[in-house]
Chain A
Amino acid sequence: MRVAHYLNQFFGGVGAEEHAGKGLEIHQSAVGPGRLLEQLLGGEARVVLTFVCGDNFAVEHQDELTAAVLEKLSSHSVDLFVAGPCFDAGRYGMAAGALCHAVQAKFNIPAIAAMSEENPGGDLYRDALYIIDSGTSTAKMRDVLSKMAKLTQKLIANEPIGSPAEEGYLRRGWLRDQLVEKTAATRLVDMLMAKMTGAPFESEMPATAFAPVPMPAAINDISKAKVMLITDGGLVPRGNPDRIEGTAATRWGSYSIAGRDDLRAEDYEVSHGGYDTRFVQEDPDRLVPLDALREMEKNGVIGKLADEFISTCGRSNPLSNTRRLGREMAEKIKQDGVDAVILTST
């Protein structure tokens, strides 16, 4: 079995944070944790390529790094791509996830990473990949690598993969049929009783956890600020030029309101399958309050209203998708020099 392995500058032996800007290095053999991985995979497994890249470089030049790794792999046939373990190193986790995702899609070989549940790379790629939960302690290196090796062997042999708890990977959000002894009602009451008595129990519907969002600083003087309107209520120009889906939207659009004091019903429609959209169709200012905010711009209450508003549809959408939409919007907001956003949500 021929294996390719991705490491950051630290685990790749280049150095600590001061080397985070270092570009991609390629070795023709196992490096650092790759040697142990080779042993744990056993048999004929050989790490034939090790990619080492600085964390800052990897995140700042993600497309370039991905292209370079894919190109190298296309001339070296490998059976498996492994990234990390990354533990709680965020930039490392993001790069590992992106590379595994790209390799898996392009070459259709198993790609596996390991990182902690809180690692932003875990959030982003757990739907798409098997990511072993590494926890945050690098002292668990051997244990994590051995879980990676075990799961990998199953993937390569096409054996059935157990549950996240059995195999140690981050939940991928999949539902799988399973035969059980007790009906749902009995299981529910059992869980409730366990909860009441403080006994341990495992929920069948774990709630999604949201990491706290740091509160951005207040605007000092709104009369000098540039304000943008955003909505997830699906308001789009008539004809829906960006074809924003009315459920599980994969796209967003930005639409000019330059020189307009009011949104007219005849210019817009609503792409959203989750609420009764008639009232907004009648008067789009009921969702995107342009008329009121334009007045405030004219009266000097705010410095400037952005020339475009952003819109998407926030309905039944996987988090991996909505997070991407949010990041893309944030980039535009920064580019446009916007100081504050009013998001209207249905």
Chain B
Amino acid sequence: MQITSALPIAKMVGSNRVVLGTGIVHVTGDAKLAPADEKELRRKLVQQALDALQSDKRQ
């Protein structure tokens, strides 16, 4: 599966399982957040990624 903020590219090349990242410059982070909140955000993204891997739904 792929975590990316460049969704049109993922679609164009035919990625089957995509989770939207939080920006091209920090796909699994957010420099605007406090460190604890940023880590929480990253946990959520990774959990979504794991959910996508366990699903047969194209997303």
Query: Is A216 a contact partner of B16 (Cβ separation < 8 A)?
Result: yes
Given contacts A233-B27, A342-B1, A344-B3, contact A302 B50 (CB under 8 A): yes
Identify which of B3, B38, B50 contacts A343 (C-beta below 8 A). B3
Q: Which of the residues A212, A225, A287, A295 comes within 8 Å of B26, measured between beta carbons?
A: A287
Question: For window 270-307 of chain A, which residues contact chain B by CB distance below 8 Å?
Answer: 275-280, 282-283, 285-289, 291-293, 295-296, 301-302
Tell me which of A215, A343, A344, A346 contacts B56 (CB under 8 A): A215
Contacts of B29 in A (CB 8 A): 279, 283, 285-287
Q: Are A222 and B50 in contact (CB under 8 A)?
A: yes
A346 with B6: in contact, given A279-B31, A285-B29, A287-B26 (CB under 8 Å)? yes
Give the number of residues in A that approach B within 8 Å (Cβ atoms). 41
Q: Is the CB of A222 within 8 A of B3?
A: no
Partner of B28, one of A215, A296, A344: A344
Beyond A213-B16, A343-B3, A345-B2, whether A295 also contacts B31 by CB under 8 A is no
Task: Give the nearest-CB partner of A221 in chain B.
Answer: B54
Q: Does A210 reach chain B (CB closer than 8 Å)?
A: yes
Question: Nearest CB to that of A288 among chain B residues?
Answer: B28
Contacting A344 at CB < 8 Å: which of B4, B14, B55, B58? Answer: B4
Q: Is the CB of B53 within 8 A of A291?
A: no
The distance in angstroms between the C-alpha atoms of A41 and B13, with both chains bound, is 40
A196 proximal to B (CB < 8 A): no
CB distance from B33 to the nearest CB of A (A): 11
- A219 CB–B CB distance under 8 Å: yes
Residues of chain B within 8 A (CB-CB) of A211 are 14
How does the 8 Å CB contact mask read for A245-267 relative to B, with 1 for contact and 0 for none? 00000000000000000000000
Residues of the B chain whose Cβ atoms lie less than 8 Å from the Cβ of A340 = 1, 53
Other-chain residue from A215, A233, A296 in contact with B16 (beta carbon distance below 8 A)? A215
**In the bound complex, do residue A293 and residue B46 qualify as a contact, i.e. CB atoms below 8 Å apart?**
yes
The reply to whether A210 and B13 contact each other, CB–CB distance below 8 Å, is yes
Contacts of A283 in B (CB 8 A): 29
Listed from nearest, the 6 A-B pairs whose CB atoms lie closest are: A286-B29, A345-B4, A286-B26, A215-B16, A289-B28, A292-B46
Contact A291 B12 (CB under 8 A): no
Which residues of the other chain, B, contact A285 by a CB distance below 8 angstroms? 28-29, 42
Q: Which residues of A contact B5 (CB under 8 A)?
A: 346
Contact call A218/B53, Cβ cutoff below 8 A: yes
Complex CA distance for A86 and B14, rounded to whole angstroms: 27
Contacts of B24 on A, CB cut-off 8 Å?
Answer: 275, 346
Return B31 CB to nearest CB of chain A, in Å: 5
Bound CA span A219–B55, Å: 7
Are B1 and A279 closer than 8 Å at their CB atoms? no
**Distance (whole angstroms) from the CB of A51 to the closest CB of chain B:** 35
Q: Verify A210–B14 contact, CB threshold 8 A.
A: yes
Render A196-230 as a binary contact track against B, CB cut-off 8 A, 1 for contact: 00000000000000111101111110100101000
CA distance A215 to B46 in the complex (A): 20
Asked if A341 lies at the interface with its beta carbon under 8 angstroms from chain B, I say yes
CA distance A222 to B50 in the complex (A): 7
Q: Report B-chain residues with C-beta under 8 Å of the C-beta of A295.
A: 43
Chain B neighbourhood of A276, CB < 8 A: 25
CB-defined contacts of B58 to chain A, threshold 8 Å: 215
